Amino acid sequence: MILAVRGLTKRYKTGDGVSDINLTVEQGELVTLLGPSGCGKTTVLRSIGGFLEPDSGDIRIEGQSVIGLPPEKRPTSMVFQSYNLWSHMSVYDNLAFGLKIRKVPKAEIRAAVADALKLVRLSGYEKKYPAELSGGQQQRVALARSLLLKPSVLLLDEPFSALDAKLRHEMREELREIQMQTGLTMVFVTHDQEEALSLSDRIVVMNHGRIEQIAGPQQIYDAPESLYVAGFIGKMNFLEGVADEGCIRIGALHFPNEKRLSGKITAAIRPEDVVLSDVIENGERLEGKIKQVMVLGHYAEVTVELAGWGILRTFQSKEATQHLFIGKEVSVQIVKLIGFPTGEPN
């Protein structure tokens, strides 16, 4: 275990903040704090980095408490959204600055800077200035600067949010590659669920200053523990149903009641778990009418208006949409769902 956060509480005068946060991060792990603006994820990250002093709780890195230590005295390094490069310094000087302060010999600095630039694919950019670089290149320099400090834990505060979608995707891949090459432990903050799912070993989903769930990306997606997580991670449909000891029922549809729910429930259904059919017949199916068809490259999002149940969004193959059109009546089958007690906060 490299990082342990125990009972961390930090409240602002506005009432925002976090309460009783408990989190551990293992050596070489990339853990993402995920949630909407104001959920407390950046408060946790900045508390770990020493930029905020918590009201209570403890933060231990490599077994040592860092509470009360300023950022420069902690074995952490932070990559910010805004790059924070010195505009009057060359790329080389931006990278070398921290090492010069630590009185590292010049030859070692040159070698370390060269290695860091190679790692972020910017070899040969030493003499350029930040204004001559693209946003993605500037963020690579900021990342290289943090890597040079050889932190026990690298902290990243929404580092790619200012980049365009294509560049964001490329930077995610590069960060994951760097993390695998170096074995560095990272804590990453984002509000982008796709970013979290693609990057992380584990995801910490946060809501209103508390942790909703900690799990691997696939488990978070397939088995959300609350309605909030179900609605926040990926696209999800919600339908009302009824549960007894035997099963969950939604109209004519029956499903296993694995959680032993009782009474009214809310069923969470992924769009890819909905099957549409031309055949209208009695049996375990719902009936609906196609309201919208949106082709999104290799698949399409087809919205169905269910008779008496509301709207259901589905993902269908590009080939299947050739026979689908607005107003067409269809049969709807649901492959699987996740049940939650109705009334659970989301």
pTM, two decimals, is 0.89
Torsion on CA atoms 131, 134, 139, 145, rounded to nearest 10: -50
Query: Which one-letter DSSP state was computed for residue 131?
Result: G
Helices 165-182 and 135-148: crossing angle in degrees, nearest 10, is 20
Query: What are the residue ranges of helices labelled H in the chain?
Result: 41-49, 91-101, 106-119, 135-148, 165-182, 193-199, 217-222, 227-232
For 81, the token pair is 């959204």
pLDDT at 32: 96
Using one digit for the tens of pLDDT, what is the confidence trace for 178-207? 888 889 999 999 999 999 999 999 999 999
Query: Which one-letter DSSP state was computed for residue 335?
Result: S
Domains of the chain from N-terminus onward: 3-228 (3.40.50.300), 237-341 (2.40.50.100)
For 44, the token pair is 């946790």
Q: Do residues 15 and 35 lie in contact, with contact meaning Cβ atoms separated by under 8 Å?
A: no
Q: Do residues 145 and 98 lie in contact, with contact meaning Cβ atoms separated by under 8 Å?
A: yes
pLDDT at 279: 63
- Low-confidence stretches of the chain (pLDDT beneath 70): 279-284, 344-346
SS in 3 state form for 65-127? ECCCCCHHHCCEEEECCCCCCCCCCCHHHHHHHHHHHCCCCHHHHHHHHHHHHHHCCCCCCCC
- Within 8 A by CB and 6+ apart from 22, the residues are 5, 6, 7, 8, 211
pLDDT at 220: 95
